[in-house]
Chain A
Amino acid sequence: MDVSAMQYMPAIEASAIDELLKQWQNTYPEMGVLALLPEAEKATVPTLQQACAARGVTLVGAVFPALTESGAFRSQGVWLLRFDRMPYAALYPDLPRDEDALQASLDGVVNGLMPHLDGDGVTLFMLFDAMVPNIGTILDELYLRLANRVRYMGANAGSETFQPMPCLFDHERIVQNGVLLMLLSPHHGAILEHGYGVPEQMITATSTEGNRILQIDWRPAFEVYQELARAQYGVEIDRDNFYQYAVHFPFGIVRANGVIVVRIPVALEEDGSLFCVGEVPANAVLTLLRAPEVDSVHTLETMVNALTELNGPLDGRELLVFYCAGRRLHLGIDAATAELQGLQQRTAAGRIAGALSLGEIGSGTQWGYPLFHNATLVASAWQG
């Protein structure tokens, strides 16, 4: 009997799910399930909820653009990840944007978490709806309140078209504009890498609203974006080919440690403003990145080394990976698949479950400041 804590089911059938839950429950009576669904299977959420309810199994989950399985991207099926003992989990829909309301809401979130923070080795695992526009601010506020009581990891769920969609669920609800929080313990945290280099020329986002860049260098954002792409990379971007090219030319927010935070523009508004995944602070100094600057080999080596340092040898271990949907577009399907397969080979992991994500949360080191990124890989051991 396969009692692996990670099961990919290529077809979602109630009877098969029930059989799996039954097997798991025999060995782990206090178990719970995290389900990762691809967008194409979002209609099956009630099937999962009913199956878990019938077995009295606690369920949480999220809908992503696609799943990753066996070094490939899948748009069908479901990953069912077993918690041997269901940890604390909380689903918060409709996070406020107003600063005062957000502060009050996060006070409530932290009050819910605090009683469950016993001992070292706790990771706060966060799955956000990608449409939440202030994830960076929320991370800053959580770090102020929780500090190093937890490690931070997470990813964004939702539709790759960036259309609003309920994408976070538990045993009875499916919600949007929220966050699903889980406390993994014992757990050693996650490693986040992207491997983007830092180009020479800098620009300034002189007018922003959350995750929308209105102006760059005091001019309409898209106009400057077009000029930069032309001047730096010889690429003509217009309204017609924006969606084809933009993912290849993301913005980078430069940090003092030489590591940039990537922001992929995913929509072009009528007024020439650019809509990104993740906040861009007003007057943030940006740079324009391009695909060839991703160093996949370095990215994978750094990640595997850091994961090994955290968890010990990874041979046969079960890993959880979130791979940025923008990065896949950026690199192209072949290079992205090669990265997934490279990760599998380098880790010799027993099983790697994962999903294509719309933004990632983590830090470059196991104790670093938690950041919200685009275009990265986030990897962690599934259980400590």
Chain B
Amino acid sequence: MNREHVMSVLYDIALVIGGETSVRPLLTKTVQRILYHTSFPTGLVFLDPPTATGTATIEVRLDAAVGDFGFNRLVGKPLNIPTALLEGPASVIEDPELLRSLTDATRPYGACLRLPIDHEGVILLLAPRLPTTQLPLTHVFQPVMTNLAKALLLCRHNDAFAASLVAERDMAEQSLEETEEKFRSITSVAQDAILMIDDKGMLAYWNPAAERIFGYTAAEAIGNDAHRLIVPERYLQAFEKGFAGFRQTGNGPIIGKTLEIEALRKGGDEFPVELSVSALQLDGRWHAVGILRDITTRKRNGAALRQSEASLRKALLGTIQAVALMVEKRDPHTAGHQLRTARLAVAIAHELGWPADRIEGVRLSAIIHDIGKIYVPTEILSRPGKLNELEIELIRSHSQVGFDIIRNVAFPWPVAQIILQHHERFDGTGYPNHLAGEQIIPEARVLAVADVVEAMTSHRPFRPASSIEEALEEIARDRGTHFDPEVVDACLRVFREHGFSFEELPAGAG
């Protein structure tokens, strides 16, 4: 072979070495290529052999083996190899006796070509006898072996780097798997439906509770338009309008809120749900996560409870009104006073802009505000003429007595306090506790005005009835002294601007 032929062989092997990035294939393919060129049938590679042990054999790890299945199965394991084979410069060893000590070999070897890979290891090529060649094999491969040593270093670094990346990836994957497992566990045992909608409005997640509540399996739901699947048609336009903005900004009218609404089951039945929606960004795209609770039972129970409460309250009111009526019956001159007072008090409260629920408390309190008069003897209540001090005190006790009767009845309003304070005056001159200004609850201040106006315009045994205008002038005079100015102003507007009249319930009618 001429120089050019030798160079072509070295070039070919160098290309194979340069083409690998990992130790195992680097060694295997390099040995394969050397076998291809030399006709040796077997090649072994030992990396990092111990140096100058002085012993007959060296324990060294077999890092690659090609061509002998006895060695192939021992790759990665330590072998005892004669020191005379491993140590020394590149050389041809034709010593069948020495080679017989390779006890793992599956065929007899008579020749060995040792090729040191600089200080990184050694390649042993084995053959039954030395293959014919014109090449000085011990010299010709030396530059290639130097290259191989450098490539080994690079490949070892690359393998270490790749292994660290794999370890990091495995750790990240394990962590992700654990997180996903937790998520799956939580969402699969949740009693509420949990679903996720992507930025195209398609369902991307649907938990087992959603399957149970809506009747669609995950396979049926995922990938379908969420709104068209579970939102009643009357809400569709509003939902789709809100979603158009949501997909751009992650914000929308129901994001971050909890609301009660109706949803559609498979088959088209509507049912009430409590819906809370959150926004979530995945891969730069907005997703909506909805948690829906089926509140059919709660709604049904709530309605029944409200109905029951209303019935109870109606019964209670009926009882109290019966008692109040009984009181009025004992004093025919004041019959209907409480109902008419209630009517005016409600009108004033309306004028003050109070909410309906609070006005209901005023109305109920007014209806029974004189219930304490049950303890006042009838002859005192109905006797014309001036009363003595004792009798006046007895009559004045009716607000305290009324309070004592009512205070243990559980009203959602301060009915007992209103009754107790309805004779208190804004300037502290009232009774029984001489409260003043803000110490008197607003409902009692309203009731005080309504009570006086109604009383003045009704016939009493000890004086004739005043006209409405006289009554209004009276309270206007006492504006800011006996009565809350705002309440007085409201009362005046009720009569003068809104034309309030007691006519519907004429004095003495009740």
Contact = CB atoms under 8 A, between A and B. Distances in A.
Interface of A: 140, 143-144, 146-149, 198, 200-202, 254-259, 281-285, 363-365, 367-369, 371
Contacts of A255: 9, 36-39
B67 A257 contact: no
Interface string B1-29: 11011101101100100000000000010
B2 A200 contact: yes
A367 B105 CA distance: 14
B207 interface: no
A317 B131 CA distance: 28
Given A369-B36, A369-B67, A257 B42 contact: no
B11 A148 contact: no
Nearest to B65: A147
A149 B107 CA distance: 10
Contacts of A368: 39, 41, 131
A255 B5 CA distance: 8
B72 interface: yes
Given A258-B135, A282-B15, A283-B11, 11 more contacts: A146-B69, A147-B66, A147-B72, A148-B42, A200-B4, A254-B8, A255-B9, A257-B132, A258-B5, A365-B131, A368-B41
B68 A147 contact: yes
B38 to A, nearest CB: 5
Contacts of A143: 32, 66-67
A371 B36 contact: yes
A144 B28 contact: yes
B133 A256 contact: yes
A364 B133 CA distance: 12
Contacts of A202: 4-5, 8
27 contacts: A143-B67, A144-B66, A147-B66, A147-B72, A149-B69, A198-B1, A254-B9, A255-B9, A255-B38, A256-B34, A257-B133, A257-B135, A258-B133, A258-B134, A282-B15, A284-B12, A363-B39, A364-B39, A365-B39, A367-B107, A367-B127, A368-B39, A368-B41, A369-B35, A369-B41, A369-B67, A371-B36
Nearest to A367: B41
Nearest to B19: A282
A94 to B, nearest CB: 26
Q: Which of A258, A364, A369 has the most CB of B within 10 A?
A: A369
A149 B106 CA distance: 9
Contacts of B36: 255, 369, 371
Contacts of A198: 1, 5
Contacts of B127: 367
Interface string B26-52: 001000101111111110000000000
Given A367-B107, A371-B36, A147 B133 contact: no
Contact of A148 (B6, B38, B67): B67
B128 interface: yes
B39 A369 contact: yes
A140 B131 contact: no
A69 to B, nearest CB: 33
A23 B39 CA distance: 44
B310 interface: no
B387 interface: no
A257 B32 contact: no
Contacts of B1: 198, 254, 256, 258
B41 A257 contact: no
B280 to A, nearest CB: 37
B323 to A, nearest CB: 94
Interface of B: 1-2, 4-6, 8-9, 11-12, 15, 28, 32, 34-42, 66-69, 72, 106-107, 127-128, 131-135, 137, 140
Contacts of A369: 32, 35-36, 39-41, 67
B143 to A, nearest CB: 14
Contacts of A149: 69
Given A144-B28, A284-B12, A285-B11, A256 B37 contact: yes
Most buried by A among B5, B32, B67, B106: B5
Q: Which 10 A-B pairs have the closest CB atoms?
A: A285-B8, A256-B37, A147-B69, A256-B9, A369-B35, A367-B41, A368-B39, A257-B133, A255-B37, A257-B39
Nearest to B106: A148
B267 to A, nearest CB: 49
Contacts of B128: 367
Contacts of B38: 255-257
A283 B134 CA distance: 24
A282 B107 CA distance: 34
Contacts of B41: 148, 365, 367-369
A197 B237 CA distance: 87
Nearest to A364: B39
A148 B35 CA distance: 13
Contacts of A363: 39
A148 B109 CA distance: 13
A365 B37 CA distance: 13
B36 to A, nearest CB: 5
A198 B12 CA distance: 17
A327 B35 CA distance: 26
A284 B11 CA distance: 9
Contacts of B5: 198, 202, 254, 258
Given A257-B38, A257-B133, A285-B11, A148 B107 contact: yes
A56 to B, nearest CB: 36
A285 B6 CA distance: 11
A202 B34 CA distance: 20
B1 to A, nearest CB: 6
A256 B140 contact: yes
A259 B69 contact: no
Q: Pick the most buried of A200, A256, A285, A364: most chain B CB atoms within 10 A of its CB.
A: A256
Nearest to A117: B69
Contacts of B4: 200-202
A48 B354 CA distance: 107
A231 to B, nearest CB: 16
Nearest to B135: A256
**B8, B37, B67 — most chain A CB neighbours (10 Å):** B8
A369 B4 CA distance: 24
Nearest to B34: A256
Contacts of A367: 41, 107, 127-128
Contacts of A284: 12
A217 to B, nearest CB: 13
A219 to B, nearest CB: 18
Nearest to B36: A369
Contacts of A371: 36
A118 to B, nearest CB: 13
Contact of B32 (A144, A364, A365): A144
B110 to A, nearest CB: 11
Contacts of B40: 369
A241 B72 CA distance: 50
A257 B9 CA distance: 10
B35 to A, nearest CB: 5
A334 to B, nearest CB: 31
Contacts of B37: 255-257
Contacts of B140: 256
A195 B202 CA distance: 72
A48 B441 CA distance: 115
Contacts of B11: 283, 285
Contacts of B15: 282-283
Contacts of A201: 4
A365 to B, nearest CB: 6
